[in-house]
Amino acid sequence: MKAYVLRRYGSPDRLEFTDVDTPVPAAGEVLVRVRATSVNPYDWHGLRGEPRVARLMAVGLGLRAPKSPVLGCDMAGQVEAVGPGVTGFSPGDDVFGLLEAGGWAEYACVPEHLLAPMPKTSSYPQAAVVPMAAATALLALRDAGRLQAGQRVLVNGASGGVGLFAVQLARALGARVDAVCSAANADQARSAGASEVIDYASEDFTRRGPRYDLLLDVAGGHGVFACRRALTRPGTLVLVGGPAGRWVQPAGHMLAAAALGPLARRRTVLADIVSSPAKRELLTTLATMIDNGQVTPVISRTYAFSELREAVAYQEQGHVPAKLAVTV
C-alpha cells in the first residue's frame, strides 16, 4: 500500500510517499481502507517535532523522529477486515475515526474504540474533516465547559477547524454564540451561527464590554487574567490551544493558564482531546448531529492524496479557514 512515511522531523518535503506493508489487524483492531483524511495543527506538531519540549516526555513525540512514522489523526473509510474480538464493525461498514497516527495511508489498523459509524449524510471527505476538530470543540463546550442552553458563549479563533465547529455546536446546544476572527472570515462565522462577529485586528474582545458565561479560547494571544474580563463572575474559560512555537508553545501557554487558573475568580479548564477516553462517544454524537442538520462540515480546499505535502504546507501558513480534506 501507499503511505507517507516520516523518518525524521522537518518540513513537508520530509514526507516520503512510498510503498509499505499493508497492516494486519490485531485483537481489538479494525483494518480500514482509508478513503479520505485531513490535516490538522496536531499533525503539524508531529511533522516538525514541536514544541521540542514534548520530545522529552514519556508520552511525547519521540526524540529525533515520531514514534509512529505514518502521521494523520483524521480518517474516514470502509472496514476491510476485523481482528479477533471486534464485535461492533463488519467488512464494508463506513466508519470515521480519531487516530493517534496512521491516517496518511491507504490502509490503517485502528483500535475499535477509536472508530464510529460514519454520518449517513456525509461523503468521505466531509466525514474525514470532523474527528479531531469537531470532537475537540464538543469536548470543550459540553464536557469541559459544562455549557447550558441559554448561556452566552464567545469563541476566540472562530474561523479555523475547531472554532468553526464550536460556533455550530454552541448554537446547536442552545447557546447564543459570538465569534472572534478576521474580517475576511466574518461571513463564514455568521453562516455557522454567530450572532456577532468581532474582528480581532480592530477590537480587543477582553476590553469591549459584553460578558460571557463561557469563553472558548482556540487562538490564544491573551492571558488568563485578560480573558476573565470577558466572563461573568461564574463564567468558565476553556483553553484548547495557543500560539505555536519551536520549543515550548503552545504547551507553555496552556500550562501557564492551568497554573494561574486557581488565582483567577473564574473557572479555567483545559480540553485535551488526545487523552480523552470518550472519543467514540464524541464521534457518535457528532454523527447524529450532522445527520440531523445541526452541524455541517465546512471544507475550504480538497487535495488529492498525491498532493498531501501541499496541504500540510498550506496548513503551516496558519489562518486556514475551515478544514482541509484529502481524498485517498
* pLDDT average, residue stretch 60-89: 88
- Cα torsion through 75, 77, 78, 82, rounded to 10: -10
Q: Is position 49 within any domain?
A: yes
More confident residue, 320 or 167: 167
What is d(CA 43, CA 22) in angstroms, rounded to the nearest whole number? 22
What is d(CA 180, CA 168) in angstroms, rounded to the nearest whole number? 14
Q: Are residues 81 and 158 in the same domain?
A: no
Average pLDDT, the chain: 90
Neighbouring residues of 18: CB distance < 8 A, sequence distance ≥ 6: 2, 3, 5
What is d(CA 287, CA 104) in angstroms, rounded to the nearest whole number? 22
Sign, CA torsion 57/269/246/97: positive
Q: Judge whether residue 257 has pLDDT over 70.
A: no
Q: Are residues 183 and 100 in the same domain?
A: no
What's this model's pTM, rounded to 2 decimal places?
0.90
Q: Is position 209 within any domain?
A: yes
Comparing 77-81, 146-150, 222-226, the range with the smallest average pLDDT is 222-226
What is d(CA 324, CA 166) in angstroms, rounded to the nearest whole number? 17
Q: Are residues 158 and 43 in the same domain?
A: no
Identify the pLDDT of residue 69. Answer: 93
Q: Are residues 45 and 148 in the same domain?
A: no
Q: Are residues 146 and 236 in the same domain?
A: yes
* Residue 78 burial class via C-beta count within 10 angstroms: exposed 0-12, middle 13-18, buried 19 and up: middle
Identify the pLDDT of residue 256. Answer: 52
Q: Judge whether residue 1 has pLDDT over 70.
A: yes
Residue 175's domain is classified under what CATH number? 3.40.50.720
Band of residue 28 on the pLDDT scale cut at 50, 70, 90: very high
Sign, CA torsion 175/74/157/297: negative
Band of residue 55 on the pLDDT scale cut at 50, 70, 90: very low
More confident residue, 246 or 114: 114
Q: Are residues 182 and 215 in the same domain?
A: yes
Q: Is position 275 within any domain?
A: no
Compute and round to an integer the Cα radius of gyration of the chain: 19
Q: Is position 23 within any domain?
A: yes
* pLDDT average, residue stretch 5-18: 95
Per-residue pLDDT tens over the stretch 56-70? 444 456 556 677 899
SS3 270: strand
Q: Are residues 178 and 250 in the same domain?
A: yes
Residue 16 domain boundaries: 2-130+297-327
What is d(CA 161, CA 107) in angstroms, rounded to the nearest whole number? 25
- 43 residue type, one letter: D
Q: Judge whether residue 260 has pLDDT over 80.
A: no
Per-residue pLDDT tens over the stretch 208-256? 878 999 999 999 888 888 998 999 988 999 999 755 544 334 444 455 5
What is d(CA 174, CA 213) in angstroms, rounded to the nearest whole number? 13
Residue 34's domain is classified under what CATH number? 3.90.180.10
Band of residue 282 on the pLDDT scale cut at 50, 70, 90: very high
* pLDDT average, residue stretch 23-37: 98
Q: Are residues 121 and 186 in the same domain?
A: no
Q: Is position 285 within any domain?
A: no
Total structural domains in the chain? 2
